[in-house]
Amino acid sequence: MKNPPALRCLFRPFATMALLGLACLVASCSRKSESTAAGAPGTTRPTVGSVKIGFLVKQPEEPWFQLEWKFADQAAKALGFTLVKIGATDGEKVLAAIDNLAAGGAQGFIICTPDTRLGPAIVNKAKAARLKLISVDDQFIGADGQPMKDVHHLGISASKIGENVGAILAGEMKKRGWAAADTAVCAITFEELATAKDRTDGAIRALIAAGFPKERIFKAPLRTPDIPGSFDAANVLLTQQPGVKHWLVCSTNDSGVLGAVRALEGRGFGPETAVGIGINGTDCIVELEKEKPTAFFGSILLSAKSHGFTTCEMMYNWIKDGVEPPRDTRTVGMLITRENFRQVLREQGIRD
C-alpha cells in the first residue's frame, strides 16, 4: 500500500537528514583514514611510557660502563621510557640481544660493541628488526676497514684527549726539571682498536710538538687491555731500557697506566721519578684516594653522563618525535688529580 502524499511530505525531511548524516560519517572516516596513513601525531608514534630502549655494553663489570648505565637509568626515569640493560661480551651475545630486544617490543638500542668489526652485522640485524641504532664509545668499522660514518655515533674526541695527555706530561716534566737525556716515554698501546690508537698517537704527537725527542718514546703493546696486560707490557720495556732515570707514562685508559705504574714501582720508581696520566677517570679513583701518592698523577675524566644520559635522550627523541640525532657527536674530558677529583666527581654526578 502506497503512502498518501501527506505522509510522503512528512517523511521527506527525515530521509534527507539521514542521508546527510551518512555523508558526514563517510567523510569523517575518510579523514581519519588519511590522517592515520600520513602518520599523524598520536597514531603512529609511541606514546610516553611505551618507548623501550636497549643499552648494550661490552664489559658490564667495568666502572665506566656501570656509570653509563647509571646515567641511562636517570634518563629513563626523567623521560619515562623503559630501559633494558644488557651485557654483550661477544658477537654471538650481541646478535642474540638484538633479537631479544625486537621480540620484547623495543624500538631502538645503544651499543658499545665488543668488536668494532661487528659493525656491518649489527647494522644489518638492526635494520631487519626495524630498530633504531646509536653506537657509543667505540665507532663501528666497515668491511673496508674504515669507520662507518653513516651510523649515528657518540664518542670521545680521542686524538684531542690524547694530545691533552701528552701536553700535561710535557708540562710536568718541565716543572720537575727533568732532562730529556734522562727521561723516556712509556706508551702502553692497543692499536687494534681505532679509538685506543688515536689516544696514544695523540699523546705522542703532543710530546714531540713540545720538543720531546722522538727517539726517547717507546711503545709497549698490550696483549690484553687490562692492568695485568699493561703490567706485563711495561715490564718488557723496562727490561729493554734499564738506563732511564725518569719515565712519562701514557696509555689508552686508566688501566693501561695503572699497570705500568705497578711495574715501575717494582723497579723502584715512584712519584719523584715517574709521572703517569690516564684516560677515563673512573678506574683510578681508588688510586687517587691512597694516602701516599703514587706515580699515577691524574687522569682525563670522560663524560660518562653524556655517553649514558645523552645517548638515551637522543634515542628517545628519535623514537617518540622523529628527531634524528647528529651522525657524529664527540665529547672531551677534564684533568682530575689528587687535589680536585672529589669535587669534580661530585659536579659530574658520579659521586655524592
Instruction: Answer whether residue 328 is part of any domain.
Output: no
What pLDDT, on the 0 to 100 scale, is given for residue 44?
Answer: 43
The Cα 264–Cα 342 span in angstroms is 26
CA 139 distance to own-chain centroid? 9
Residue 325 belongs to a domain: no
pLDDT computed for residue 170 by the predictor: 98
- Give a yes or no: residue 49 inside a domain: no
Is the distance from CB of 206 to CB of 164 less than 8 angstroms? Answer: yes
Residue identified by cell 625486537 is 102
Enclosing domain of residue 261: 158-302
Please state the domain count of the chain.
2
Tell me the CATH number at 293: 3.40.50.2300
**Is 199 contained in some domain?**
yes
DSSP state string for 38-58? TT-TTTSSPPTT--EEEEEES
Contact 299, 125 (CB under 8 A): no
> Is 16 inside any structural domain?
yes
> How many helices (H) does the chain have, and how many strands (E)?
12, 12
Whole-number pLDDT of residue 21: 42
Tens-place pLDDT, residues 19-41: 334 333 333 333 332 222 222 33
Maximum separation of any 2 CA atoms in the chain, in Å: 124
Q: State which of 302, 320, 344 marks the end of a domain.
A: 302
Is residue 220 one of the residues assigned to a domain? yes
Edge-to-edge order in the sheet of strand 217-221:
217-221, 183-189, 246-251, 274-280, 296-301, 334-337
Length of the chain (residues) = 352
Cell for 334? 677534564
- In a domain? residue 184: yes
In a domain, 112, yes or no: no
Which amino acid, one-letter code, is at 179?
A: A
pTM of the predicted protein model: 0.76
Contacts of 108 (CB under 8 A, 6+ apart): 53, 54, 131, 132, 133, 134, 315, 318, 319
What local confidence, expressed as pLDDT, does residue 13 receive?
A: 39
Mean pLDDT of each 10-residue bin along the chain, 352 residues long: 39 39 38 29 52 97 93 97 97 97 97 97 97 97 95 96 98 97 98 93 98 98 95 98 97 97 98 97 94 97 94 98 96 94 92 80
Residue 259 zone, left/alpha/beta (φ > 0; ψ -120 to 50; rest): alpha
Residue 63's pLDDT is 87
SS3 of 185, please? strand
pLDDT digits (tens, 9 = 90+) for 56-88: 999 999 889 999 999 999 999 999 999 999 999
